[in-house]
Amino acid sequence: MKAEVTIPHGEADSNVYWNLLKNLSLDVKLDLISKLSASLIRKDKAKDTDGAWVAQFVGKWQDARSADEIVADIRDARTNNREIELNWIKR
């Protein structure tokens, strides 16, 4: 059974909804909580996957070195871990 509810203009706040829902059974309230929570989680996931968060990092790296110098520093900082990686092998 579907019921239509008209919310007066300008009164769409949580009190209006509470007055409509406060007399529902515990099971129905829990189901509504679950559905509302799920809708919030879906919105959070959609925000994460839209790629907009990347924009906050664009242009943030500041360094006096050139790109070639940075690449050289990264390569020079690399270590050779071959011996460490192979230590678990019994000979």
| Res 55 pLDDT > 70 | yes
Nearest to 16 by CA among 4, 8, 24: 8
- Report the pLDDT value the prediction gives residue 39, as an integer from 0 to 100: 84
The two tokens of residue 47 are: 């925000």
pTM equals 0.37
Residue type, 51: G
* Radius of gyration from C-alpha coordinates of the chain: 28
Confidence of residue 43 (pLDDT cuts 50, 70, 90): low
Nearest to 20 by CA among 31, 38, 7, 2: 7
* CA max distance for the chain: 80
CA distances 22 to 32, 35, 43, 57, 87, Å, are: 12, 17, 26, 45, 65
